[in-house]
Structure formats: structure tokens, C-alpha cells
Amino acid sequence: MQLAQHYQSHINILNQRVAEICAREGLSGLAIHSGQPHRQFLDDIDYPFKVNPHFKAWVPLLETPHCWLLVNGRDKPILIFYRPEDFWHKVTDLPQSFWCDSFDIRILTKADKVADLLPVAEGCWAYIGEHLEVASVLGFNNCNPEAVMSYMHFYRACKTDYELECMRQANHIAVEGHRAAKNAFYNGASEFEIQQQYLNAIAQGENQVPYGNIIALNQNAAILHYTALEHESPQQRLSFLIDAGASFHGYAADISRTYAFEKNRFHDLILAMNQLQLQLIEHLRPGKRYTELHLQAHQQLATLLLEVGLANGSQETLLEQGITRAFFPHGLGHMLGLQVHDVGGFFNDERGTHVAPPEDHPFLRCTRTMAPGHVVTIEPGLYFIDSLLVPLKLDGRKKLVDWDLVASLRPFGGIRIEDNVIIHAHGNENMTRESGLID
């Protein structure tokens, strides 16, 4: 693993970014807050802690609240590490890892005494985090300045070598889970049981994975963000859609696959969608706007619908009449990194100039022009969703769809195939397939 040798270079790049934006905005530096727990309403239990992504961009401390980073791009970054005296909870051990030498580590034993370690009175420091009431009490007058956030979000899309290695590792972990889930499906497990076997295979809990896994059998696969997890196995086992990821040092993998229980027409449709997805990845390159690839996906899907007999007419007609959008309602994918739907996907420049998706494709999460170092998901889908198909049946578009074939495929729910891809200057790296997940 190349993490240690890449890490200091990663910190150097982050420091360069901080130095530039602080000089531009007249700031002394950034105080990046890891965050603090949120208490459940009318209870004495906290929600699972989720660290500020701007914090974990610097250090892989994911479960320790009340920590701070003080960075100005010139001096050695300071990590204020929270380690209380506490007999109720497990106290985080003092860090001893490959990244420690990159920081001046100072220990904080009481969260409300952090002011003694902060440089607020020494200049114009900006607070980066979600707890604005804490920032106010501590004397920060500049919180999450828009110019700083836009700059950092724009450049965060360009991953460092350290970040790319973390994301490769996240894919390796997730692929092991997908293999376990696939076997569990074919061995008769319920949705809940498949989820448990997935988590066991990746050795991560539900609060450690980057998002709530989608484990859907049969028609449940037509619910795009299905997370209900039925405990009973269906009487007839038809299909399985899994959209599940894993985390490594705070970086996410986000992978989807669909399986048919038997080799039938739905199985053939999965194979066709797999080829469609691979063709789209081949067209992904620096300089191409992601929007163009999304529209290309609809063109290819229109051709596929005609080839398999789900639709009639011409490719142009299916696109103009919204037929492909009824079968494929979500975006082709999104940027990936410290967050599953990573920031900066709509940015045209470092000032945060917003580029909206096409009016007919409002759910597309990325309109960015691709560049080397970007990491995106490519996840075309084909679903049988009643609420989207019924309107076609009630107007003049009825004749464009083979409704008998739709009825025969409706119990299978739908198909989604998703890989995580690094864009390089001279070709793409499909982390998911190179980690061993083929079907």
C-alpha cells in the first residue's frame, strides 16, 4: 500500500490550496472543526457521529468529535486532538500512524476549553464547519466563507495520489462485500440477511459504510433508494439489485450490480445493460462535459429499448417523447470521494459558477467538465416503475411501448450497474472492475 509515501505530498497540495485562497481572501488561516455529536430529541443518546468532510480531507480521524485543524498553508498544520478523561465511553487512543508526523498535535481534554488553543484573536481566521453557534461563542466572525468553500470544493474534485489510493482500497473492500451478497442471494437469503452478510464481509457496521445500502429483491428493485430490508424471503426469487459501498480512511466506494436468479429474458437485459455501461465508460475522457455523457446514455438506451422490443419507433422519437426518461429517471452518476455525492459536481470554475443540468434531466448530479484526477460513478439504469410508466399509457405515447413485455418484466423491478472510474490524462481506470467485480 502506497499511503504513507503519498500522504505528505497530499498535505503539501492541501497546504498550497489553503495558502492561495487565504491570500486571495485576506485570511490568516482556517480553523476546521471535526464536529460534535447531535443529541436525539428528548433523549440522552447521540446520533451516530459524522465527521466534517473538510476535516477528514486532512486526517483520517472519522469518529472523534471536538477536534480542530488549524491550517494557514505556511506553517506545519496544528491538530487539536480531543481526548477527555471519561469512564463512560471508550476514549480514542493517541494517534500513532503514518500521518502523525505531518502535524503538530496538541491534546484537548475538555471540549469547552478549546478557546485556549485557538488563534482567533491573532488575526482573521475563518471557521469551517457546521456548528455556527460554537463558532460564534469562540469569536469567529467569518464562517464558511463562500469564496473559500467554492474554491475548496472545486479543487477537491481533483484527487491526489493519496486519495486515489484510498478509493482503490475502498473499492477492494466493497467488492468483497458484493461477492458475499451475490452468493447470499443465490443461496436463498432475505434482504436483511444479505445485508448482514455484506457488512460481515467488509467488516464495517451500518454507521461506517458511506451510505445506507440498497438491497432489493424482485420488484423492490424498482424503488431507486429502497432501504426497507425485508426479513422474509420472497416465495419466488426473481432478481436482486444491490447498491452498496465501503469506506477507507473516509473515502467512499459506491458500486451497484443486478442479478437474475435464472437465465431468462431479464438476464439477457442485464447483459445488454452491462455492455451499454462499458461503452459509456470508454467515452469518458478529459475535456468531456459529464452532461454530454448522460445524454449519450439516453441515446444508447433508446437503441437498446428498440433492440429488445420494449419500445417501438425511432431513437429520436423515444428521446423526444420522454420514453427513455420513464425507464431511466435518474442521472448517469456523480462525483465520488470524501462523500458519496461529492461536492463540486455542478461547478464550472473555482468561483463556484453553477452549471445546472438540462431541464428534462433535473436529477443529474454532475455537469462538470471532466479532468485528470476526477473520480465519477457511471450507473445507467433501466427500471419498471409504475408511477413513471402509467402516464405514457394514458396519452398518445401508448403505442411506443410494448406493454405486454413491460408487464412480464415488472416483477423483476429494474437494473442498475455502477462502477467507480478514475479519469487519467491517457485513459480511464475502472477501480471496480480492476478490483475483481465483473458481473
Which residues belong to the annotated binding site for Mn(2+)? 243, 254, 334, 379, 418
Q: Please, is 122 exposed, middle or buried when counting C-beta atoms within 10 Å of its C-beta (0-12, 13-18, 19+)? A: exposed
φ/ψ region of 94 (left if φ > 0, alpha if ψ in -120 to 50, else beta) reads: beta
Cα separation, 91 vs 69, in Å, equals 19
Cα separation, 397 vs 312, in Å, equals 10
Type of residue numbered 124: C
* Sign of the CA dihedral running 359, 363, 367, 370: negative
Cα separation, 291 vs 294, in Å, equals 5
Sheet holding 419-424, edge to edge: 375-378, 419-424, 427-430
Please, which residues bridge with residue 217 across strands? 240
CB 307 within 8 A of CB 275: no
Return contacts of 271-278, CB within 8 angstroms, 24+ apart.
Answer: 272/304, 272/307, 272/308, 273/304, 273/380, 273/381, 273/382, 273/415, 273/417, 274/417, 274/439, 276/300, 276/301, 276/304, 276/380, 277/378, 277/379, 277/380, 277/417, 277/418, 277/419
Angle between helices 290-308 and 265-282 (to 10 degrees): 150
CA distances from 60 to 5, 213, 434 (A): 15, 22, 25
Per the annotation, where are the binding residues? 243, 254, 334, 379, 418
φ/ψ region of 29 (left if φ > 0, alpha if ψ in -120 to 50, else beta) reads: left
Buried b (16+ CB within 10 A) or exposed e, 279-296: ebeeebbeebebbebbbe
Please, which residues bridge with residue 430 across strands? 421
End-to-end Cα distance, the chain = 26
133 contact partners, CB below 8 Å, separation of at least 6? none
CA distances from 258 to 97, 267, 413, 417 (A): 39, 9, 10, 7
Which pairing describes strands 104-108 and 214-217: parallel, antiparallel, or unpaired? unpaired
CB 93 within 8 A of CB 107: no
